[in-house]
Amino acid sequence: MPRPSPFADLDATEKPAADAVIVELGRPTRAAFGCFGLTTLFLAVIALAAVGYAVAGPPSSNTALRWVAAVLGGVFVLLVGVLVVVAVRANRIRQGLAVDADAVWWRSDAVLVRLPWTDLAAAELVEPVHIRGLRSSTPKAPSVQLHPVDEDTLKRYPRLLDAVTAGEPAAPGRPSLRFTFRLLSTADGEAVAAALDRFRPDKTS
């Protein structure tokens, strides 16, 4: 069953248009969830073993060792609980990017930012740099870069401070800073690229 749009629960008067292209951001991949789950399971097994030893260990076991096992078991149980809470929150978080004819929209839970095209000098999809034959942790998915028309525009969006990166200006006289959003997959990159081609106004100045 597909996940609902990150913008689905917003009021109709303050959300992307019906024909907007929407992609999800920030959600861990299935592989990441799998590794996280295995780690949590491993810690849970250790916790059960420690608690089991403390409660029902052999009669000949040292009392001090049982206390140590009980404390360690409690610590691991607490870690497992924290990891479960983190996993549930990561799975339920609403974070996304939408592109329509009027603006580019970004949402992270209760925070919604609308970037009208008039505030942007350029918008582009940037592929990650990969060196052939060299293993790298660089994400395989592309990023969306939104170039503001001036530095004052950057200051009007303090909620996007964490998304600001530096690079070559979109054109002479434009700021070197821009908003950058990493996508989750190449498929999302293709969808966003098509949306930019469709909705992005002609920016020649």
Q: Residue 6 carries which side chain, given as an amino acid letter?
A: P
The per-residue pLDDT for 2 is: 58
- CA separation for the pair 153, 70 (Å, rounded): 57
How many whole angstroms separate alpha carbon 43 and alpha carbon 7? 36
The radius of gyration of the chain's CA atoms, rounded to the nearest angstrom, is 24
Residue type (1 letter), 79: L
* pLDDT tens readout for residues 115-160: 999 999 999 998 876 656 555 554 578 999 999 999 899 999 999 9
Per mean pLDDT, which range of 51-55, 64-68, 84-88, 136-140 is the poorest?
Answer: 136-140
Give the residue with greater pLDDT, 31 vs 177.
Answer: 177
Tell me which of 194 and 51 has the higher pLDDT: 194
Share of the chain above pLDDT 90, in %: 33
| CB-based contact 143:125 (threshold 8 Å) | yes
**Amino acid 204: pLDDT:** 46
User: Order of strands across the sheet with 21-24?
Assistant: 21-24, 95-99, 103-108, 111-116
pLDDT at position 30 is: 63
Two tokens at 10?
A: 């917003």
